């Protein structure tokens, strides 16, 4: 893994580790933490469901297992800071990790539907958002507080949002949120709150630092240390994105045909409809072979073959989604003070030696 920080632990795999596998193994799954990873005892752990509900609930893991229908969802998690390194090349972003293109991964998550738990609690008509609060306390928040976030009720009641205890057929690993995490498919990773403790129905979005202040697209000249709720655009659905996974650009390649592969992800209820590759800086494009989505909530891998001749070649990849939208061309146009949502065209320089 490429470790950006040890405490809190933040790491992503090298590109090659994500190539070929549409389901990501635990060993290659990025880790994004805002505080120390808590150790929770699954036997005594309880989930509180409250706020604007008719019947507040307190549920053990066993009760969640026994009282609700179990379900599996294949979903990609993508950090809003994925590909931030590309924005840092445009202009410095002090105090943030320089994530490459691998702060994203896909798993089969098992658990129960948030919608079913909310139905049991009975949402009151005024409930417009559901907030998640976790057990880990982040010193990065002002003031220090447990990690949290919220999603609108419409998303919370969609069948794809899970309270998950399983990942790829095994118990959820501690670093990924055991005993229980939210999985909000198609939304930025930050909304998939790990080490879940409380779910609260609210009339407004959560006032938690990571919902109200952090994870906003601030205006370019704003000071992120002075950001207040509403100063920026609060992030929800993932922006259409793609990157190249192999080759990784690290080692020179021989002349001749080389297969280029990567991922593309459209977020929320869109899918990737086309993936173009250029080796002449976007003057001409070839269409890559694009996988059908394995689920509406998962990335799609793609591949094509290009011809290398001695010298340097910049490979550019760009995705179109099912609404006809195209990724933006340049990271300069997207630069923002916290370095979120870099979804500009993917570019990788390859060196070819005879
Ligand atoms: N409790 C808690 N949940 C959290 C976080 C966190 O720091 N604490 N990080 C979030 C962010 S920003 C992302 S991108 C995903 C990362 O999930 P992973 O570490 O399982 O890959 O978890 C989210 N959930
Ligand atoms: Mo994230």
Residue 176 C-alpha to ligand 1 middle, in angstroms? 7
**What is the pLDDT, as a whole number, of residue 263?**
98
Instruction: Report which bound ligand comes closest to the CA of 184.
Output: 1
Query: Ligand 1 pocket: which of 79, 97, 180 to mutate (most atoms <8 Å of CB)?
Result: 79
**What is the pLDDT, as a whole number, of residue 303?**
98
Would the CATH topology of 2-234 be identical to that of 241-352?
no
Extents of the domains making up the chain: 2-234, 241-352
Ligand 1 neighbour 209 (Cβ under 6 A): no
What architecture is domain 2-234? Alpha-Beta Complex (3.90)
Instruction: Please report, in angstroms and rounded to a whole number, the separation of the first and last CA atoms in the chain.
Output: 31
C-alpha distances in Å from residue 53, one per residue of 62, 115, 130, 151, 203 = 22, 13, 11, 16, 11
Residue 343 C-alpha to ligand 2 middle, in angstroms? 14
Q: Which residue has the tokens 């390194």?
A: 85
Cα–Cα distance, 157 to 146 (Å, whole number): 24
Closest protein CA for atom 1 of ligand 1 = 194
The percentage of residues in the chain with a pLDDT greater than 70, rounded to a whole number, is: 100
The β-bridge partners of 311 are 352
Residue 193 C-alpha to ligand 2 middle, in angstroms? 10
**What is the pLDDT, as a whole number, of residue 56?**
98
Cα–Cα distance, 149 to 131 (Å, whole number): 6
Ligand 1 neighbour 340 (Cβ under 6 A): no
CB 101 within 8 A of CB 83: yes
CB 337 within 8 A of CB 225: no
What CATH code would you report for 241-352? 2.60.40.650
| Mean pLDDT value across residues 324-329 | 98
Instruction: Report which bound ligand comes closest to the CA of 340.
Output: 2
Residue 155 C-alpha to ligand 1 middle, in angstroms? 19
**What is the pLDDT, as a whole number, of residue 82?**
98
Closest protein CA for atom 11 of ligand 1 = 190
SS3 annotation, the chain: CEEEECCCCEEECCHHHHCCCCCCCHHHCCECCCCCCCCCCCCCCEEEEEECECCCEEEEHHHHHHHCCEEEEEEEEECCCCCHHHHHCCCCCCCCCCCCCCCEEEEEEEEEEHHHHHHHHCECCCCCEEEEEEEEEECCCCCCEEEEEEEEHHHHCCCCCEEEEEECCEECCHHHCCCCEEECCCECHHHCCCCEEEEEEECCCCCCHHHHCCCEECCCCCCHHHCCCCCCEECCECCCEEEEEECCCCCCECCEEEEEEEEEECCCCCCEEEEEEECCCCCCCEECEECCCCCCCCCEEEEEEEEECCEEEEEEEEEEECCCCECCCCCHHHCCCCCCCCCCCEEEEEEECC
Residue 247 C-alpha to ligand 1 middle, in angstroms? 28
pLDDT digits (tens, 9 = 90+) for 141-188: 999 999 999 999 999 999 999 999 999 999 999 999 999 999 999 999
pTM equals: 0.98
Query: Ligand 1 pocket: which of 8, 9, 32, 197 to mutate (most atoms <8 Å of CB)?
Result: 32
Ligand 1 neighbour 189 (Cβ under 6 A): yes
Cα–Cα distance, 221 to 233 (Å, whole number): 14
Cα–Cα distance, 335 to 354 (Å, whole number): 38
Q: Is the backbone peptide bond immediately before 179 cis, with ω within 30 degrees of 0?
A: yes
Instruction: Report which bound ligand comes closest to the CA of 12.
Output: 1
Burial class (CB in 10 A: 0-12, 13-18, 19+), 229: middle
**What is the pLDDT, as a whole number, of residue 277?**
98
Residue 80 C-alpha to ligand 1 middle, in angstroms? 11
**What is the pLDDT, as a whole number, of residue 132?**
98
Ligand 1 neighbour 343 (Cβ under 6 A): no
Determine the atom of ligand 1 nearest the C-alpha atom of 31. Answer: 19
Closest protein CA for atom 24 of ligand 1 = 193
Determine the atom of ligand 1 nearest the C-alpha atom of 29. Answer: 21
pLDDT digits (tens, 9 = 90+) for 215-247: 999 999 999 999 999 999 999 999 999 999 999
């Amino acid at each position: 893994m490429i470790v950006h920080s040890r405490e809190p632990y933040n790491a992503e795999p090298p590109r090659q580790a994500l190539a070929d596998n549409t389901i990501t193994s635990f060993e290659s799954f990025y880790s994004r933490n805002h505080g120390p990873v808590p150790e929770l005892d699954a036997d005594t752990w309880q989930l509180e469901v409250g706020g604007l509900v008719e019947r507040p609930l307190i549920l053990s893991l066993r009760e969640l297992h026994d009282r609700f229908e179990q379900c599996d969802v294949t979903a990609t998690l993508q950090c809003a800071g994925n590909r931030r390194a590309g924005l840092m090349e445009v202009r410095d972003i002090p105090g943030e990790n320089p994530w490459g293109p691998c702060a994203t991964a896909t798993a089969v998550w098992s658990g129960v539907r948030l919608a079913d738990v909310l139905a049991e609690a009975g949402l009151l008509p005024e409930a417009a958002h559901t907030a998640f609060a976790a057990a880990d306390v982040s010193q990065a928040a002002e003031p220090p507080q447990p990690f949290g976030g919220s999603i609108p009720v419409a998303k919370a009641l969609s069948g794809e949002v899970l309270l998950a205890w399983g990942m790829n057929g095994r118990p959820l690993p501690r670093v990924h949120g055991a005993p229980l995490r939210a999985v909000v498919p198609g939304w930025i990773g930050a909304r998939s709150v790990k080490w879940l403790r409380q779910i609260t129905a609210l009339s407004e979005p959560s006032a938690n630092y990571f919902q109200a202040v952090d994870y906003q697209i601030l205006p370019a000249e704003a000071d992120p240390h002075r950001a207040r709720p509403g100063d920026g655009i609060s992030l929800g659905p993932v922006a259409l994105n793609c990157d190249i996974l192999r080759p990784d650009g690290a080692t020179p390649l021989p002349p001749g045909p080389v297969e280029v592969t990567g991922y593309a992800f459209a977020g929320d209820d869109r899918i990737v409809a086309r993936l173009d590759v250029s080796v002449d800086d976007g003057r001409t494009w070839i269409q890559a072979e694009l996988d059908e989505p394995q689920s509406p909530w998962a990335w799609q891998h793609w591949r094509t073959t290009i011809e290398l001749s001695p010298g340097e070649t910049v490979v550019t990849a760009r995705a179109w989604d099912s609404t006809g939208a195209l990724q933006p061309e340049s990271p300069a146009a997207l630069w923002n003070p916290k370095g979120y949502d870099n979804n500009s065209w993917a570019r990788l320089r390859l060196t070819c030696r005879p």
